[in-house]
Chains A and B, each alone.
Chain A
Amino acid sequence: MTTLPETTDRKLGLVIDLDTCVGCHACVVACKGWNTEAYGAPLSDQDPYGAEPSGTFLNRVHSYEVQPEDGAAQLVHFPKSCLHCEDAPCVTVCPTGASYKRAEDGIVLVDESACIGCGLCAWACPYGAREMDAAEGVMKKCTLCVDRIYNENLPEQDRVPACVRTCPAGARHFGDLGDPESDVSRLVAARGGMDLMPEQGTRPVNKYLPPRPRDKLDQMEQSAPRLDPVIEEPGGFLGWLDRALEKL
């Protein structure tokens, strides 16, 4: 059903630490690796070894440069996947009921056997979280590794999304954001976790932790004395050239 649940028992989601992410793309690879052989259709690639490789990804890492008013520019690596919104616009637009949000844990999923591949849900998502698989003609999206997190065949430490399990920097956290006492909720409270595009009214479950403020090292001032010109007036050949050019 494409009617959104009034409330969900739990709000499972991710907390992504933009301060810690090093932009290694390990989560992208782990996500593709797990999800191409697990839930639903594989994540196909087109022309993977050619000049224009392209493929379906449920998680992509952007990089942004942030230039403060004063101080050095910062580079922020920005992993982006489905935010499992409470008011998920991708679900309500679906004409077939293929898209749904689970009442028990809030995960937004696609029943691929009911998807007609109209692409409207991808249009409705402001975050670019949904991608139509070019080979399969159905919509693919992050499942929060629903086939890992409840999977009792896996060792307990592996029952988290593949992206979280693989992150070497510890920049990704998984948990119940509906429980204010959970580790992820306390992390969000402590670090001022934020919503992406809050004005779109989607109420994302996933939160992003902003980069911590950088030290204000005024590098110019520190290094400037050492870079003072040794001689004001150049002599020798360069001095002659300078004076000759001056006269022209």
Chain B
Amino acid sequence: MHPAPSVIAFTTLSGIGFGLLAWLGLGLPPVTGGTAFAFFTIAYLLAAGGLVASTFHLGHPERALLAFTQWRTSWLSREAWASVAALLVMAVCGAGAVFFDTRIPALGWIGSALCMLTVWATSMIYAQLATVPRWNTPLTPVLFLSLAAAGGALLAGQPDFALVLLPLSGVVQVVWWVRGDRALADSRTDMASATGLGGTGRVRAFEPPHTSPNYLMREMVFRIGRKHALKLRALALLLGYVLPCLLLLIPFSHVFAALAVGSHLGGVAASRWLFFAEAEHVVGLYYGKS
């Protein structure tokens, strides 16, 4: 799949943003006043900024409000509702903490749940697609949720939780990669089933429909960068999980904390790039590729 920068930025930033909001909803850390203002501002910039970035890849962003209408069947529509609900509820929590020095625990918990619901809905947009076997697994929501929780803990200054959640999400990431590498082969979809010609003999793409690439090939038959996949995976693991943990283990300083967050974001962005670039869409089989 084509790794569109806007979608990578969206899933990376809003994931960690909603993760941070979820921790703030739980009252971890129990901030009020100016500190709360700083925390909530960062969380909203990340979460809402990511949502805005996601509209950049739309052909008609001016019609984006229509995306709220089909929540009965569409995960993208459900994500729209969940994100708006989460941002509204958490805005009330944030206003209480910043301006009135008050926390309403029940509302905070609802807000946290809505934040996680948003991340889940985002992950289901990908996990629902049988056409991309690498994504089509319950492990995809687990990966997105564990990353949001871990990144949020890191940003919320919860080293105890982060030191558990970061290695945990790292393990989920590795399992997701290992499963993904044989997902297409395990999906039973191949050139024989795509063309229905497998009964006659071995099928080979002889000639594409046109002499130059088209939308389908640009969008779904992305090939560049896969040769560096292993290096990028190592880099994603190192930056996203290992380095932040090491930085959390040494005595606390704001510089190291900022480094840990930056490193984590870089690692997650690399992993998200691979999430798209490595994903094989079955339509590639019609073009003799996978």
A binding-site residues for B, Cβ under 8 Å: 1-3, 18, 28, 52-57, 60-69, 73-76, 78, 80, 89, 91-98, 114-120, 122-128, 131-132, 134, 136-138, 194-201, 208, 210-211
Give the CA-CA distance A64 to B73 in the complex, in Å.
36
The A-contacting residues of B in range 54-79, CB under 8 angstroms, are 57-61, 63-64, 66-70, 72-77
Taking the closest CB of chain B, its distance from the CB of A85, in whole angstroms, is: 12
Q: Are B80 and A95 in contact (CB under 8 A)?
A: yes
Minimum CB distance partner of A23 in chain B: B207
Stretch binding the partner chain, chosen from B32-40, B175-183, B194-202:
B194-202
Of B61, B204, B220, which contacts A116 at CB under 8 A?
B61
Given contacts A64-B204, A122-B216, A200-B189, 4 further A-B contacts (CB under 8 A): A2-B70, A2-B73, A96-B67, A125-B283
Q: Are A208 and B209 in contact (CB under 8 A)?
A: no
Minimum CB distance partner of A131 in chain B: B215
Of B77, B189, B212, B216, which contacts A199 at CB under 8 A?
B189
Stretch binding the partner chain, chosen from B126-134, B148-156, B222-230, B236-244:
B126-134
Minimum CB distance partner of A47 in chain B: B212
Q: Are A195 and B196 in contact (CB under 8 A)?
A: yes
Contacts of A91 in B (CB 8 A): 73
Minimum CB distance partner of A194 in chain B: B196
B binding-site residues for A, Cβ under 8 Å: 1, 57-61, 63-64, 66-70, 72-77, 80, 125, 128-132, 187-189, 191, 193-197, 199-216, 219-220, 281-283, 286-287
Q: Are B131 and A65 in contact (CB under 8 A)?
A: no
Give the CA-CA distance A123 to B68 in the complex, in Å.
20
Q: Are B212 and A54 in contact (CB under 8 A)?
A: yes
Taking the closest CB of chain A, its distance from the CB of B255, in whole angstroms, is: 40
Q: Are A198 and B57 in contact (CB under 8 A)?
A: no
User: Could you say which of A64, A65, A91, A93 has the most chain B C-beta atoms within 10 Å of its C-beta?
Assistant: A64
CB contacts between A and B, total, < 8 Å: 196
Give the CA-CA distance A119 to B56 in the complex, in Å.
12
Contacts of A93 in B (CB 8 A): 73-76, 125, 128-129
Q: Are B194 and A196 in contact (CB under 8 A)?
A: yes
A-B contact pairs, 10 of them (CB 8 A): A62-B208, A94-B73, A95-B77, A96-B69, A114-B63, A134-B215, A195-B196, A196-B196, A200-B130, A210-B199
Q: Are B60 and A116 in contact (CB under 8 A)?
A: yes
Minimum CB distance partner of B67 in chain A: A95
Minimum CB distance partner of B66 in chain A: A96
Q: Are B205 and A119 in contact (CB under 8 A)?
A: no
Give the CA-CA distance A195 to B189 in the complex, in Å.
13
Give the CA-CA distance A128 to B130 in the complex, in Å.
14
Q: Are A200 and B282 in contact (CB under 8 A)?
A: yes
Given contacts A123-B220, A136-B59, A210-B196, contact A95 B66 (CB under 8 A): yes
Taking the closest CB of chain A, its distance from the CB of B181, in whole angstroms, is: 20
Of B1, B59, B76, B214, which contacts A117 at CB under 8 A?
B59
Taking the closest CB of chain B, its distance from the CB of A121, in whole angstroms, is: 10
Give the CA-CA distance A7 to B204 in the complex, in Å.
37
Give the CA-CA distance A224 to B249 in the complex, in Å.
79
Minimum CB distance partner of A200 in chain B: B130
Q: Are B131 and A116 in contact (CB under 8 A)?
A: no
Contacts of A134 in B (CB 8 A): 215
Q: Are A66 and B219 in contact (CB under 8 A)?
A: no
Give the CA-CA distance A205 to B34 in the complex, in Å.
61
Of A67, A115, A137, A201, which contacts B130 at CB under 8 A?
A201
Taking the closest CB of chain B, its distance from the CB of A56, in whole angstroms, is: 7
| The 4 nearest A-B residue pairs measured at CB | A117-B59, A137-B59, A60-B209, A68-B201
Q: Are A127 and B60 in contact (CB under 8 A)?
A: no
Q: Are A128 and B283 in contact (CB under 8 A)?
A: yes
Taking the closest CB of chain B, its distance from the CB of A78, in whole angstroms, is: 6
Give the CA-CA distance A49 to B62 in the complex, in Å.
32
Of A3, A67, A122, A126, which contacts B189 at CB under 8 A?
A126
Q: Are B195 and A78 in contact (CB under 8 A)?
A: yes
Q: Are A123 and B286 in contact (CB under 8 A)?
A: no
Taking the closest CB of chain A, its distance from the CB of B223, in whole angstroms, is: 16
Q: Are B70 and A89 in contact (CB under 8 A)?
A: no
Contacts of B281 in A (CB 8 A): 123
Contacts of B72 in A (CB 8 A): 2-3
Of A62, A120, A198, which contacts B125 at CB under 8 A?
A120
Q: Are B203 and A66 in contact (CB under 8 A)?
A: yes
Minimum CB distance partner of A209 in chain B: B196
Give the CA-CA distance A153 to B88 in the complex, in Å.
54
Contacts of B282 in A (CB 8 A): 126, 197, 200
Taking the closest CB of chain B, its distance from the CB of A30, in whole angstroms, is: 15
Q: Are B193 and A197 in contact (CB under 8 A)?
A: yes
Give the CA-CA distance A196 to B131 in the complex, in Å.
13
